[in-house]
């Protein structure tokens, strides 16, 4: 999952970024409201974690602009102020949740996962495909009864493929979702990452789930 962090306090932004990356999220950071508007208009994010107090456009102004432009990216607002009117205004403008500072990373991640589940329509923490089971709350993965230990990056790659089972996910889409940057066709880091995931997820089992789609990328699809 790719998350945009919008926070003008650089130390706070760095702490949020480190906490989310440790839990397998891909993150980008910006420190101004105007920059956030541009990035959210041009790039694809699964959610934004945004402080209300920002230079230039404040968080509420950014949120208002997003919703006016029909941008439905989930937004969790952060603020050091506990003003009820401000909270109500943010929710009425279309914020998906609200978290007062100071907060724990555990709570932020829990709220972020809840927002993402609501937006994807699953409402569930457990997803299944063939004999694959993923618990998105604990980030645990199983094939049948066998537990599979994945690194945060491998988990993010699997999650990317699981969003659209049976459909090819291009290397560009994988690069943006898992690493947060544009794919360089002169490199093979996406293919190397898929090979590592296959060694854990597919090689020990007769049913293969990760298929190569020639000329495009990869798909999560049970082989015949």
Delineate the domains of the chain, giving CATH numbers in brackets: 2-120 (3.40.50.2300), 126-220 (1.10.10.10)
Where are the extended beta strands (E) located within the chain?
Answer: 2-6, 26-30, 47-51, 75-79, 97-100, 126-129, 132-135, 140-143, 146-148, 169-170, 210-213, 217-220
pLDDT at position 224 over 60: no
**pLDDT tens digit string along 18-30?**
888 877 788 999 9
Indicate the pTM of the whole model. 0.62
Pick from 141, 115, 114: which is nearest to 127 by CA?
141
Residues 87 and 101: beta-carbon distance below 8 Å: no
* Range of weakest confidence among 20-24, 45-49, 177-181, 210-214: 177-181
Residues whose CB falls within 8 Å of the CB of residue 149, separated by 6 or more in sequence, listed in order: 200
The Cα 90–Cα 98 span in angstroms is: 8
> What letter would DSSP give residue 138?
T
> Greater confidence, 150 or 182?
150
Beta strand pairing status for 75-79 and 47-51? parallel
- Considering Cα of 21, then 219, then 149, then 139, what sign does the dihedral take? positive
Mean pLDDT (the chain) is 86
* Range of weakest confidence among 29-33, 42-46, 65-69, 78-82: 78-82
Task: Give the model's confidence band at 9: pLDDT under 50 very low, under 70 low, under 90 confident, else very high.
Answer: very high
Pick from 172, 180, 133: which is nearest to 156 by CA?
180
**pLDDT tens digit string along 111-168?**
888 888 776 655 456 778 889 998 877 788 999 889 999 998 899 899 889 888 888 8
């Amino acid at each position: 999952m790719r998350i945009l962090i919008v926070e003008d306090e650089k130390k706070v932004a760095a702490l949020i970024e480190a906490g989310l990356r440790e839990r397998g999220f891909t993150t980008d950071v910006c420190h101004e409201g105007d920059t956030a508007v541009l990035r959210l208009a041009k790039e694809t994010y699964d959610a934004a974690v945004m402080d209300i107090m920002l230079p230039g456009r404040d968080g509420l102004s950014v949120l208002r602009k997003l919703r006016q432009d029909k941008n439905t990216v989930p937004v969790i607002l952060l603020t050091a102020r506990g003003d009820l009117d401000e909270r109500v205004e943010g929710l009425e403008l279309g914020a998906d949740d609200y978290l007062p500072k100071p907060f724990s990373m555990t709570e932020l991640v829990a709220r972020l996962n809840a927002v993402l589940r609501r937006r994807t329509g699953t409402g569930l923490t457990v997803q299944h495909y063939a004999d694959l089971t993923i618990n998105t709350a604990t980030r645990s993965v199983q094939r049948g009864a066998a537990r599979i230990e994945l690194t945060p990056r491998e988990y993010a790659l699997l999650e990317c493929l699981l969003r659209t089972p049976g459909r090819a996910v291009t290397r560009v889409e994988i690069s943006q979702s898992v690493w947060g940057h544009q794919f360089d066709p002169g490199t093979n880091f996406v293919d190397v990452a898929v090979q590592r995931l296959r060694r854990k997820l597919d090689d020990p089992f007769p049913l293969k789930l990760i298929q190569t789609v020639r000329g495009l990328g990869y798909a999560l699809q049970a082989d015949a």
